[in-house]
Structure 1
Amino acid sequence: MAGMRIVHELTEACERLLPGRYTVVHTDELILGVRAGRLTLHDIGGRPLTAPAVAYARMSSARLSSDREITLLRHLEAMGTVLLNPADAVLACVNKFWHLQQLAVAGLPVPDSRSYADAPLAKAIDAGVPEPCVVKAVRGQQGGQVFLAPDAAMLRAVQGSLKDDSPYVFQRYVAHSHGRDLRVVVVDGRVVAAQIRSAADGDLRSNLALGGTAELCRGRYPAGEELAVRAAEVLGLGVAGVDLLFEPDGGFTICEVNVHVGWRAYMTEVAPAVVTACRARLDAAGGAAGSVAGGAI
C-alpha cells in the first residue's frame, strides 16, 4: 500500500537525518486525558507518554473526524507539540470549500464556485450553478465523488442519486485543463516535486489512483510553482500538495490543496524534505524528540 511505503520512506529518512530522535506512533495507540487540570497522554497500555516536541501527522482526509483525529491534533498542540501541519490548517484543507474561502480572501486565483449549508441539494442547484460545472463533494479524496455536469438540467436529473451526507461544490469547468493538472509538493515554502498528471481514457480526473499517468516537471512552470508556494503559505501548511489547473492564457488556477499529500517512490526528495522540516523545528525547540507517522502521528 502507498501509505505504508511512504511511512517506510519517512522512517528511512529519519534514520539518516534524525537518528535516535524520532518515533513512529499510530493513532490507535494513544489515549488522551485530563488529570488534576493538566492534559495527559498515555499509550494503550496505560503508560504515560511525553508529548513530542514536533509531529508530522498523516491521516486519511476522507475519514478524518473532528471527534477523533482533529481532537488528537488539538490535544497535542495544547500540550506544546509543534505540528508541521497545524490542526486548523488540516481542517481547512479537508473541506474543499473552506480552503477556497481562505485562498480567495488572500487574492489567489480559484475557480468560480458555489456551495451551500442547509439548503436541499435540489434548491441549491435551482439557485444557479456554473454551466458546465465540476461537481465535488466537500469531503473526498483520490477523485471520489467528482464529475462533470454539462448543465443544471443534468444535475437536476441525477441529484436524487447523489449522497447527501455532505454538501457539494459546483465549480467552473476549465476546459483547457480537462484531464490534466499540475501537482506541486511544497515543504516549508520550497518546491520539492512537481508533475503533470494526465487522465486515462479521456476522464476529467487526473488522479493517479484512477489510472492517470504522471510526468515529472519541476522547474518547467515557475509561475505555477510560485502560486503553489503561496497557497501553502496562506493555509499555514508545512507540507502541502497543490493541484493547479492550466488556463488558456498560460496561467494557473488553484484546483485544491491537499494536506495529507501522497507521493510516488520516484519523488525521492519529498521524504528527506519532510524530515528536514521536522529537524529544523526540533533544533529550534532544543533537540527534544519528535514523531513521524502514517495513519499515525
Structure 2
Amino acid sequence: MNMQLESLGAYLKTRRDRVTPDDIGLRTYGATRRVPGLRREELAQLAGVSAGYYTRLEQDQAGLASDQVLDALAGVLRLDPAESAHLHNLARRTTTSRLVRPEPETPHPRVLALLSSLGESMPALVLGRRGDVLAWNRTGHALHAGHVGFDAPGDPDRRPSVPRMFFLDPLTRDSLRNWDELARIHVGYLRLTAGRYPDDAALAELIGELAMGSRDFSRLWAEGDVADCTTGPMLLRHPTVGRTDIDYQVWLQPDSPDHRLEVYTPRDPASADALRLLAGSLS
C-alpha cells in the first residue's frame, strides 16, 4: 500500500489547530470559538496576507507560495527549524510528480572506513534515507538487533528497517523503556524525509505499511508532527546486559547526505560497564 503523502494545505491546517490565541497573545474577549486553534483569518492577518489567499493555500489552490509568505506563516505558527523546512519542502512539491522506484542505497566507502575506525567499543550503525541499516559494527548489531543476522545489511532485500523494527517487532519495542518518546521522533523524522523526497516510492510504501500494521504509528502520523533526529536518550532493557542508558548521536555524511552514522555512548558508569560487557561477549 502506498501512503498518500500530505499536502501543504493539510500541514498548515494541523499546525494552525495547535496554536491557540493565548499562545501568541491574541485577545478573544471571551468569544465562543469553534476551532481548537487560530482561525484562518487570524493567521492570515498576523502573517500579513489576505484571508482569501490563505484559505486558498489551505485548500491547495493558491499555486506556489513565496519564501516570504512561508516564513511569515512559520513565524506565526511558531515552527521550529525542522518544521519550517518541512513547510518549504511541501510548498515546492508539484502536483504532477510521480512516485519513482529508487535504486538500492550503497554506503560511501569513507563512511564505512569511519565506522570501521570506531572498533567495537562504541556501538554504531549507518542508516539510509528510509531508516534501513546499511552497515553496523558488531556491538551496534548486538545492541539493537541480535536476533537479526549480522550480514543482513549487505543484502538490499534483507536489510533491517529501523522503523519497521520500532513499530512491527515486539522484541524491539520491549527492549526500549522510552519507546513512546523515540516512536514519536521516528514518525516525525519519517514525515520530514517524506517532505524532502515526495517521489520516493519505497518511502511511500514503508509509511503505508506502518500505517496499516501499527495503530500507534497511524495515530502518531495523524498528528502531523515533524522532528529531526540528531541526538537524545535511548533507555534500554537489553536481553544480555540488562538496563542500559545511552545517548544516540547522528553524524551527517557530506559525501552522501541521505546517510547518517549513528553512534551510541553511555549516560552513566553502569551503562558504560554494560557496553564493555556487551563488547567483550563478542570476542
TM norm. shorter chain > 0.5? no
Which structure is higher in RCO with an 8 Å CA cutoff and minimum separation 6?
1
Kindly indicate which of the two structures has a greater share of residues assigned to helix: 2
TM superposition score normalised by structure 2 = 0.30
TM superposition score normalised by structure 1 = 0.29
Larger Rg: 2
